[in-house]
Amino acid sequence: MTRTIRGGRGRLRLAVTLAAVSAVAAGAAVALASGAEAGSTLGASAAEKGRYFGTAVAAGKLSNSQYTGILDREFNMITPENEMKWDATEPTQGQFRYTGADQIVAHAQAHGQRMRGHALLWYQQEPGWAQNMSGSALRSAMMNHVTTVAGHYKGKIYAWDVVNEAFADGNSGGRRDSNLQRTGNDWIEAAFRAARAADPGAKLCYNDYNTDGINAKSTGVYNMVKDFRSRGVPIDCVGFQSHLGGLPPSDYQANLQRFADLGVEVQITELDISGSNQATAYANVVKACLNVSRCAGITTWGIRDSDSWRTGENPLLFDANGNKKAAYTATLNALNGPGSTVSTPPVSSPPPVSSSPGGGTGNGCTATVSVNQWEGGFVATVRVTAGSSAINGWTVTLPVPSGATVTGSWNVTRSGNSWTNVSYNGHVEAGQYTEFGFQATGTASGLNPACSAA
C-alpha cells in the first residue's frame, strides 16, 4: 500500500507539573503495570500518568519468547495487527473465524493487558466476497459484521476502531470513495450505533492517518465528530495513526487538543517513525499526548523493527534483536518527565450520578461516579479529586449494588466495599484527580461513593 508519511517541524512546549511518584497508602497492595518497577518500562511509566502504552501484536509471533518477553514487560495495551480485520474474522459471508484474534485476547487477559479492537469496517482487507458487493446487500453485510464481531468480544475490548480510514487524502476534506461509502453517507454513524448496541462497554473510535496535524483531512474528520457529538451518534474517541516520517507536525498537540475539546478521548493508535531524528520525534509525540488530558495512551505499530510493516525503515523502539533503541530511551524519559498527571475524563458517560465529599475540610478528597449502563451490565468510572492539599493515598467506600457482580476493575485494589489506590495513582496533586473503574453485571442503582485520603 502506498501512503504519504507526513513529517513536520517544531518542538512542543510542556506544562511543567512534576509528577511525584506515589506514596502508597499504608496497607495498600502494590500492583504495578506488567509487574515492573514504576518508571522503568513504557507501560508502568505511562500508567503513572494515567495512560496506557500499547503495541500491535501478530498472533503468529506469540510463540517467540523474545517477542513475548518484550511484549509482557513493556506494554499494557494490545491491538491485533491483522487478526480482527474483516478478511480475518469473516472470510466467508456469515462464517466467523476468531482463531488468531482469540489467541491474542487470551494472551492479553493472561498478562493483564487491555485490548484495542481493530478494525470493524475498513475499505482495505475486505474479504473477497464483500469486495464484490454493493448497495443494500453490502450495507446489511457490514452491519451484520459489526454486530457479530463486536458482540463476540463484548466486555473484552477497551476501545474499538469501528471505522478505519474513511476520509480522502488531499484537500477535499471529504470521504474516500469505496464500496462502503457508496452504500450511503450514513454508513459510519450506522456502524457506530450497531457497535454500541453490540458492546456498550467499549469506547468507540474513528481511526485514520495523515490526520496528525491540522489539515483538510483532519478537519473533515473533526467536522464529522462534532456533528456526531451534537446529534448523539455514539462516538467516544478518535485514533491518530501517526505513521510519521520524522518529527510530528508542529501543530500535532493542538490538533489532538481540538478533538479533545469536542469531548472525545484521543489516542495515538499506530505510531511508527522513520528518519534520523527518530528519538526526538518519539519524545515529542509522547509529550504532546501527556499535555492533552484526554489523550488516553499511545500504541506503537509493532515491537521490533523486524516486526514493522514499513520494511527497511526501522521505525520502532526495539531493534531486530530486541534491544532498546535510542528512541526507546527517549520515549521512556518523556513518559517519566513532566506532564499532566490527570487521567482521561469519562467521555461517553452521563454526568456523575452521585457525589460525596470526604476526608475533612481542605485536605481530603471527593469521589464522584459516572455510569455507562446497558441491558444487564454497566461500567462505573470513579473520579477521585484531591482537595486543597495534595494527597498520598486514598480509599473510596462504594458498596456494589445488590444483585450486581463486579467482573473486572482497573487502576484500583478492591477489598469488599473499599476501593484503594494502586502504587501509581495514590498521589494526587491539590485540585487534580485520578480515575479508576470497574465493570459489573446488574444495575448501577444507588452508587454513592465516599472518599477518604490516607
Residues in contact with ligand XIL by CB under 6 A are 81-82, 164, 241, 270, 309
Distance of alpha carbon 452 from alpha carbon 255, whole angstroms = 38
Closest distance to ligand XIL from the beta carbon of 5 (Å): 11
Handedness of CA 36, 411, 54, 243 (dihedral sign): negative
Q: Please state the closest distance from residue 355 (CB atom) to ligand XIL, in A.
A: 39
Work out how close the CB of 378 gets to ligand XIL at its nearest, in angstroms, rounded to a whole number.
31
Cα 358 to Cα 288: distance, rounded to the nearest angstrom: 34
State the Cα–Cα distance between residues 44 and 64, nearest whole angstrom: 23
- 318/436 with CB nearer ligand XIL: 318
Q: How far is the CB of 202 from ligand XIL (least distance, A)?
A: 17
Our CB check for ligand XIL shows the closer of 2 and 321 to be 2
Q: Please report, as a single letter, which amino acid is at residue 46.
A: A
Residue 375 designated active-site: no
Strand-pair category, 450-453 with 418-420: unpaired
CB 118, min distance to ligand XIL, A? 6
**Residue whose CB is less far from ligand XIL, 72 or 81:** 81
- Among candidates 113, 110, 101, which has minimal Cα distance to 41? 113
Nearer to ligand XIL, 109 or 124 (CB): 124
Residue with cell 476493575: 409
Cα 433–Cα 435–Cα 441 angle in degrees, nearest 5: 155
**Active-site pick, 81, 189, 270, 435:** 270
The nearer residue to ligand XIL, 165 or 435, going by C-beta atoms, is 165
Contact status, residue 104 vs residue 65, Cβ threshold 8 Å: no
Nearer to ligand XIL, 271 or 279 (CB): 271
Nearer to ligand XIL, 113 or 164 (CB): 164
| Rounded-to-integer distance, Cα 135 and Cα 141, Å | 10
Catalytic residue among 48, 165, 265, 435: 165
Whether 382 and 408 have beta carbons less than 8 Å apart is answered as no
**Catalytic site includes residue 265:** no
Residue nearest to ligand XIL (CB): 309
- Contacts of 97-100 with C-beta under 8 Å, sequence gap 24+, read 98/152, 99/59, 100/59, 100/60
Three cell numbers at 239? 485514533
Cβ proximity of 264 and 233 under 8 Å: no
Query: Which is nearer to ligand XIL, 113 or 241 (by Cβ)?
Result: 241
The number of C-alpha atoms within 13 Å of 307 and in the hemisphere containing its C-beta is 29
First to last CA, the chain: 54
- Cell reading at 347: 467521555
By CB atoms closer than 10 A (0-12, 13-18, 19+), residue 61 is middle
> Which of 81, 236 has the CB closer to ligand XIL?
81
Close Cβ partners of 137 (under 8 Å, ≥ 6 residues apart) = none
Minimum distance, C-beta of residue 195 to ligand XIL, in the bound complex (Å): 17
Distance CA 145, CA 128 (A): 14
Cβ of residue 69: shortest distance to ligand XIL, in angstroms?
21
Look up residue 147 and give its amino acid. Answer: T
Query: Which helix (DSSP H) or strand (DSSP E) does residue 225 occupy?
Result: helix 216-231
DSSP 81-119: SSTTSHHHH-SBTTB---HHHHHHHHHHHHTT-EEEEEE
Residues marked active site are found at 165, 270
